[in-house]
Amino acid sequence: MSGHSTYVPKSNAGKWLEERLPIISLMHGAAVSMPNPRNLNYWWVFGGIAMFMLIVQIVTGIVLAMHYTPHADMAFSSVEHIMRDVNWGWLLRYTHANGASMFFVAVYIHILRGMYYGSYKAPREVLWLLGMLIYLLMMATGFMGYVLPWGQMSFWGATVITNFFEVVPFIGDDIRTLLWGGFAVDNPTLNRFFSLHYLLPFVILGVVILHIWALHVPGSNNPLGIEPKTKQDTMRFHPYFTMKDLYAIVLFAIVLFYFVFFNPNFMGHPDNYIRANSLVTPPHIVPEWYYLPFYAIVRAIPDKALGVAGMFGAILIMFVVPWLDTSKVRSAKFRPAYRIFFWVFLFNGLLLGYLGQVSTTDDFLGIHGVTNLLISRIGTIYYFGFFVVILPVLGLIEKTKPLPNSISEAVLGVEGAKAEAEEMAANESKA
């Protein structure tokens, strides 16, 4: 990361530290002098936003843990104690609950941006893998966090998800018992989920640091998908991208706090305001919205074991995308056919999200004879087909558009780039 640093310590204390631990030049290289492609658009701000949301979640989470009691008899009341008695407790809890959703919104956009512009392709495969690992850890953290209020949806969500593990051959039963710490979801389950829910965000933070490290070796991809060649193609990270990211973070915070203050329960489920009851199952068990596409996939597959395998496979297949995509061209800007399949993939994801929370036997949007189950199956086939058929085959047969010579030529035109290059050279010789 320190490769790009132009930091030279000025004070004696700075020199002293630099010789012993070059942490300032490391951070300088990562957040100040790092060269970034000048043509990044606003889709590139969501990495910074996701980082901001992670910090919001960790800070509010630590504070909430000061008041929460991870015991089956007291968890529900302790959450209500936070809402009613703790100073600003309602604000902290609503921020944490809605923050989780908004964190996922940012990360989903971040992932989809990477898919659209081919950011996962060489030499950024490790960057992508680390990102997927973060996503997987977020899913686990979010799930365990949703269990903590110990409402009906917490309890039954935990029951359904842990029962997925039963399909593992031979040892499924044992894994499930191990997760539960008993013969059903109960106090030991709640306790360990709390412990892990507190731990995992720090693991995520660690992987985020690796993710940033892996970003700074090849540098950011860009909307053109071609590597920067000359100094003209890039800008310093600070102030250009720091200020752009901060501006975007403030805009994102407006959306977050709109939900926190004016619609705090919109993304939750009413049943979670009912105390967990191990003898009554709610009529519809619906996971948090960010799992819904995967929940639709598990329900679309008739066999239990295959369904669970399909659900986990749907997540794991994302890890190997860099090796499934055979196209030499990164950006969808120059891949007219891929662009269409991508938008269909996005729409299909939203559709599966919708299908994840409606009854499978009902008619799809009221169309007689077309069940939600049928549409879920078509959606599932497209989801997997996109990865295992479209990505490998399309790369081989697609006729891509010609790529520009360089980023600066694309932005400034051939003449403009030449003029700017000359000016820069003149300035440098002056200096």
Partner 1 sequence: MHNLTKNITSLAKKSALVLALASSFATPAFAAGGAISGGPEFKHVDWSWAGVFGTFDRAQLQRGYQVYKEVCASCHAMELVKFRNLSEAGGPEFSKAQVKVLAAEYEIEDGPDAEGEMFMRSRKPKDALPSPFANDNAAKASNGGALPPDLSLIAKSRGHFSFKDMFMGRDGLSGGPNYIYNLLVGYEDEVPEYITKYYDHKNEEGLKADPDYTESHFELGDSNFNNFFPGYKLAMAMPLDDDSVEYSDGTKATLAQQAEDVSTFLMWAAEPKMEIRKSIGIRVLLFLIILAGLMYAVKRRIWENVRH
Partner 2 sequence: MADTSKVEEPGRRDFLYIATGAFGALGVGVGAWPLIDQMNPDASVKALASIEVDISSVGEGESITVNWRGKPVFVRHRTAAEIKLSVETPLEDLVDPEEDAARAEKPEWLVMVGVCTHLGCIPLGEAGKYNGWFCPCHNSTYDTAGRIRSGPAPKNLEIPKYTFISDTVIKIG
Report which residue type is found at 242: T
Measured at the CA of 144, the angle between CA 143 and CA 147, to 5 degrees, comes to: 95
Q: What's the residue count for the chain?
A: 431
Write the burial class of residue 367 (CB in 10 Å: 0-12 exposed, 13-18 middle, 19+ buried): exposed
Residue 266 interacting entry, from partner 1, partner 2, none, C-beta within 5 to 8 Å by type: partner 1
Residue from 204, 235, 200, 203 nearest 44 by CA: 235
Nearest CA to 396 among 340, 332, 324? 324
What's 284's DSSP letter?
Answer: S
Q: Please give the Cα distance from 314 to 160 (Å, whole number).
A: 18
Distant-in-sequence, close-in-space partners of 138: CB < 8 Å, separation ≥ 6 = 103, 104, 107, 204
Active site residue 166: no
- Residue 271 binds to partner 1 (criterion: CB under 8 A): yes
* Whether 288 is catalytic: yes
344 is a site residue for partner 1 (CB under 8 A): no
Is the Cβ of residue 39 or residue 331 nearer to partner 2 in the bound state?
39
Q: Any contact of residue 284 with partner 1 (CB under 8 A)?
A: yes
Q: Which of 158, 260, 297, 300 binds partner 1 (CB under 8 A)?
A: 260
- Under rule CB under 8 A, residue 260 binds partner 2: no
Q: Among positive and negative, which fits the CA dihedral 319, 320, 324, 326? A: positive
Which x/- pattern over 339-368 shows residues binding partner 2 (rule: CB under 8 A)?
------------------------------
Q: Which stretch binds partner 1 (CB under 8 A): 140-148, 185-193, 245-253, 316-324?
A: 245-253
At residue 132, the 3 state secondary structure works out as helix
Query: Is 328 a residue that touches partner 1 (CB under 8 A)?
Result: no
Please give the size of the binding site for partner 2, defined by CB under 8 A.
30
- Return d(Cα 111, Cα 345) in angstroms, integer: 13
Q: Which of 268, 307, 310, 379 binds partner 1 (CB under 8 A)?
A: 268
CA distance 386 to 239: 39
**Token couple for 85:** 């008695």
Residues 291 and 356: their CA atoms lie apart, in Å, by 8
Measured from the CB atom, the residue of 40 and 204 that comes closer to partner 1 is 40
**Of 160, 158, 163, the residue nearest 187 (C-alpha):** 158
Of 52 and 180, nearer to partner 1 (C-beta) is: 52
Identify which of residues 51 and 297 has a Cβ nearer to partner 2 in the complex. Answer: 51
216 is catalytic: yes
Q: Which is nearer to partner 2, 85 or 173 (CB)?
A: 85
User: Which residues are known catalytic residues?
Assistant: 216, 220, 244-245, 288
Which residue ranges make up the site for partner 1 (CB under 8 A)?
A: 38-43, 77, 80, 83-84, 90-91, 94, 105, 108-109, 235, 239-240, 243-244, 246-247, 250-251, 253-255, 257-258, 260-275, 284, 286, 289, 292, 350-351, 353-354, 357-358, 411-412, 416
Which residue ranges make up the site for partner 2 (CB under 8 A)?
A: 35, 38, 59-60, 63, 66-67, 81, 84-89, 91-92, 231-236, 238-239, 246, 408, 420, 423-424, 427
